[in-house]
C-alpha cells in the first residue's frame, strides 16, 4: 500500500491541484452566483478574498499534507505530535473526510445532469421547449440516478488505478482539454454573443450592492472553488515531490482557478445577453435552462456548441470529483488497511447512498423542508459547503498559524522572503479564522433559524 504514494515530477501536483480546483464551482457555481449577486461587486470581492484569504489557507492545507504525510486524519495527528499539540486536532481531518462524502453526495448529481444535457443538446431542440425539458429531466428519480451512477463509475475507475496511473494520467488528458474548450467557448461568445454587455456586467463596480450576503457568498465561493477545507490539498501536498515549493505552486493553481472562473463568465454571459429574454439571474438553473435555451435559439450550430459546452462542464466536474473522493479513499485504504480498489468501492458506495438522497430533492422529496433549506439536495449542499468546509478551513488556518508555524522551516517550504512568511502566519492566525467564523455563525443563524442581522 505504500508503493506509489508520491508524484515524481512537479507538473503532476500542478495539474492535479488545478484539476481539483477548476470544477463545477467555476463554471456552474461562479457565473450563477455572480448573476444572483448582480455581477460586478461580487466578482471584485471574490478576487479580493481569493488573494487575501484563499491563497494563504490553500498554502496552509498543502503544508500540513507535505509535513504530516499520509491521509488527512493521520497528517493532522502527525503534525499535532510534532508540535506538542493535542491529538484532538485530528477532528479537522475527520471533518475533511465527512466533507468529501457530503460534497460528493451532491456534486455527482449535478455532474450527472451535465452529461445528460450533453446528449440532450446534441440531439437538438427543434420543436422542443428547453424549459420544459429541464423540468421533465429532473422529475425522474430513475433517470437522474442513472446519470450520476455513470459519472461515479468513471470517477471510481480513475481512483482505483491509483495516484500515478489514475489521477496523474487522467489529469494529463483532462486539463489540456478543459483549457482548449473554455477558450473555444469564450471565442464563440465573443463572435456570436454580446461580449461588451458581459464585460460590463462582470466588471463594473456597483457600490449599492454591497451587503453582508454578497460578502458571504464571495468568501464561500472562493474557498469552495479553491478546494480548501476538506483534505484534498493535504493529500495532494503529501504526494508532492519533496523539493517542490509550496508558495510558488499554490500561486500558480490559485491563478489558474480564478482565471477559469472569469473565463467561464465570459463564455456564458455573452450568449445570455445575446437574447434579451434570457435572465442572467437564473440561479442553479443558469447553465441548464438558460444556456440550453440559448443553444436552441442558435439553431443548427447550437447542436455543436451545446455539447461542447456540456463536455467542458463534464471534464471540469470529473477532475474535481476525483479529488473530492481521494482523501476518503486514501484514509480507508490506510485505516483498514486494504487495497486501493476495495477502498474505492467502499467510498463510492457511501457516495451513492448520499447521491440518492440528493436526487430525491429534485423529485420524490422535493417538498421536504428543514428551516430555510428547500429540499434534501439543498440540505446536502448546505451541510457540505456552508457548514463543514468553512469549519475545516478555520481549523486548518488556526492550526498552521498557531501551532505548525513554530516548526516550519520557511526556506524548505519555499518562502524566500521573511516578510511574506510573517504576513502569511499573521493572516492564518488572525484574519482568516475570524472572517470565517463570523460568516459561519451569521450564515447558520440565517439559514437554519431565520435570524438575520443585515
Q: Which three cell numbers stand for residue 289?
A: 435552462
Of 235, 232, 229, residue with least CA distance to 391: 229
Q: 57, 115, 296, 324: which one contacts ligand PHE (CB under 6 A)?
A: 324
Q: Read out DSSP for 301-313?
A: GHHHHHHHHHHHH
Q: 23, 189, 220, 414: which one contacts ligand PHE (CB under 6 A)?
A: 23
Closest separation in Å from C-beta 447 to ligand PHE: 19
Closest separation in Å from C-beta 155 to ligand PHE: 12
In residues, how long is the chain? 454
Per rule CB under 6 A, count of chain residues that contact ligand PHE: 15
Distance of CA 358 to the CA centre of its chain: 17
Task: For residue 328, state whether it binds ligand PHE (rule: CB under 6 A).
Answer: no
Q: Which stretch binds ligand PHE (CB under 6 A): 37-45, 182-190, 318-326, 370-378?
A: 318-326
Q: Which stretch binds ligand PHE (CB under 6 A): 20-28, 87-95, 186-194, 409-417?
A: 20-28
Q: 12, 14, 18, 20: which one contacts ligand PHE (CB under 6 A)?
A: 20
Q: Which stretch binds ligand PHE (CB under 6 A): 1-9, 17-25, 127-135, 146-154?
A: 17-25
Site for ligand PHE in 161-220 (CB under 6 A): none
Q: Which three cell numbers stand for residue 107?
A: 456534486
- Eight-class DSSP state of 99: H
Task: For residue 320, state whether it binds ligand PHE (rule: CB under 6 A).
Answer: yes
Angle made by CA atoms 18, 236, 164, in degrees to the nearest 5: 90
Q: 7, 15, 26, 125: which one contacts ligand PHE (CB under 6 A)?
A: 26
Task: For residue 360, state whether it binds ligand PHE (rule: CB under 6 A).
Answer: no
Cα–Cα distance between 67 and 334 in angstroms, integer?
Answer: 18
Cα–Cα distance between 41 and 428 in angstroms, integer?
Answer: 25
Site for ligand PHE in 209-268 (CB under 6 A): 224-225, 227, 230, 232
Largest distance between two CA atoms of the chain: 68
Task: For residue 21, state whether it binds ligand PHE (rule: CB under 6 A).
Answer: yes
Task: For residue 397, state whether it binds ligand PHE (rule: CB under 6 A).
Answer: no
Q: Is residue 26 a contact partner of residue 185, using CB atoms and an 8 Å limit?
A: no
Residue with smaller CB distance to ligand PHE, 80 or 325: 325
Residue with smaller CB distance to ligand PHE, 232 or 375: 232
Q: Which stretch binds ligand PHE (CB under 6 A): 21-29, 186-194, 269-277, 431-439?
A: 21-29
Distance of CA 281 to the CA centre of its chain: 21
Task: For residue 158, state whether it binds ligand PHE (rule: CB under 6 A).
Answer: no
Residue with smaller CB distance to ligand PHE, 18 or 121: 18
Closest separation in Å from C-beta 261 to ligand PHE: 8
Give bridge partners of residue 251 from the DSSP assignment: none
Q: Which stretch binds ligand PHE (CB under 6 A): 317-325, 347-355, 373-381, 435-443?
A: 317-325
What Rg, from alpha-carbon coordinates, does the chain have? 21
Task: Give the number of other CB atoms < 10 A from CB of residue 334.
Answer: 17
Task: For residue 25, state whether it binds ligand PHE (rule: CB under 6 A).
Answer: yes
Angle made by CA atoms 422, 425, 430, in degrees to the nearest 5: 120
Q: Which three cell numbers stand for residue 257?
A: 482557478
Residue with smaller CB distance to ligand PHE, 226 or 408: 226
Cα–Cα distance between 444 and 183 in angstroms, integer?
Answer: 38
Give bridge partners of residue 373 from the DSSP assignment: 370
Q: Is residue 272 a contact partner of residue 33, using CB atoms and an 8 Å limit?
A: no
Which residues bind to ligand PHE, rule: CB under 6 A?
Answer: 20-21, 23-26, 103, 224-225, 227, 230, 232, 320, 323-324
Amino acid at each position: 500500500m505504500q508503493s506509489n504514494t508520491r508524484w515524481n515530477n512537479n507538473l503532476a501536483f500542478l495539474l492535479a491541484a488545478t484539476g481539483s480546483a477548476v470544477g463545477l464551482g467555476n463554471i456552474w457555481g461562479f457565473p450563477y452566483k455572480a448573476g444572483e449577486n448582480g455581477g460586478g461587486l461580487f466578482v471584485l470581492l471574490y478576487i479580493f478574498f481569493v488573494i487575501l484569504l484563499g491563497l494563504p489557507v490553500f498554502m496552509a492545507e498543502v503544508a500540513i499534507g507535505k509535513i504530516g504525510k499520509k491521509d488527512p486524519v493521520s497528517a493532522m495527528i502527525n503534525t499535532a505530535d510534532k508540535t506538542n499539540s493535542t491529538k484532538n486536532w485530528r477532528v479537522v481531518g475527520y471533518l475533511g473526510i465527512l466533507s468529501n462524502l457530503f460534497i460528493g453526495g451532491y456534486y455527482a448529481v449535478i455532474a450527472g445532469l451535465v452529461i445528460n444535457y450533453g446528449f440532450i443538446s446534441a440531439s437538438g431542440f427543434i420543436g422542443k421547449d428547453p424549459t420544459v425539458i429541464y423540468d421533465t429531466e429532473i422529475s425522474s428519480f430513475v433517470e437522474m440516478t442513472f446519470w450520476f451512477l455513470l459519472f461515479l463509475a468513471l470517477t471510481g475507475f480513475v481512483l482505483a488505478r491509483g495516484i500515478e496511473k489514475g489521477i496523474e494520467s487522467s489529469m494529463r488528458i483532462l486539463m489540456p482539454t478543459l483549457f482548449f474548450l473554455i477558450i473555444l467557448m469564450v471565442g464563440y461568445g465573443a463572435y456570436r454573443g454580446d461580449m461588451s454587455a458581459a464585460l460590463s456586467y462582470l466588471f463594473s463596480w456597483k457600490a449599492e450592492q454591497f451587503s453582508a450576503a454578497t460578502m458571504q457568498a464571495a468568501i464561500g465561493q472562493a474557498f469552495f472553488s479553491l478546494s480548501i477545507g476538506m483534505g484534498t490539498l493535504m493529500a495532494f501536498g503529501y504526494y508532492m515531490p519533496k523539493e517542490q515549493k509550496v508558495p510558488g505552486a499554490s500561486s500558480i493553481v490559485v491563478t489558474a482557478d480564478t482565471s477559469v472562473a472569469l473565463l467561464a463568465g465570459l463564455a456564458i454571459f455573452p450568449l445570455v445577453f445575446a437574447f434579451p429574454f434570457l435572465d442572467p439571474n437564473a440561479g442553479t438553473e443558469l447553465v441548464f435552462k438558460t444556456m440550453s435555451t440559448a443553444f436552441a435559439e442558435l439553431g443548427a450550430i447550437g447542436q455543436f456548441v451545446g455539447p461542447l459546452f456540456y463536455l467542458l462542464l463534464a471534464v471540469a466536474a470529473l477532475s474535481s470529483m476525483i479529488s473530492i473522493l481521494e482523501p476518503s479513499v486514501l484514509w480507508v485504504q490506510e485505516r483498514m488497511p486494504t487495497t486501493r480498489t476495495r477502498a474505492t468501492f467502499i467510498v463510492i458506495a457511501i457516495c451513492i447512498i448520499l447521491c440518492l438522497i440528493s436526487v430525491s430533492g429534485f423529485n420524490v422529496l422535493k417538498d421536504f423542508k428543514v428551516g430555510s433549506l428547500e429540499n434534501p439536495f439543498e440540505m446536502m449542499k448546505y451541510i457540505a459547503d456552508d457548514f463543514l468546509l468553512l469549519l475545516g478551513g478555520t481549523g486548518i488556518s488556526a492550526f498552521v498559524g498557531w501551532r505548525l508555524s513554530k516548526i516550519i522551516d520557511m526556506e524548505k517550504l519555499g518562502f524566500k522572503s521573511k516578510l511574506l512568511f510573517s504576513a502569511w502566519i499573521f493572516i492564518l492566525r488572525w484574519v482568516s479564522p475570524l472572517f470565517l467564523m463570523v460568516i459561519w455563525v451569521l450564515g447558520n443563524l440565517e439559514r437554519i433559524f431565520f435570524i438575520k442581522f443585515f
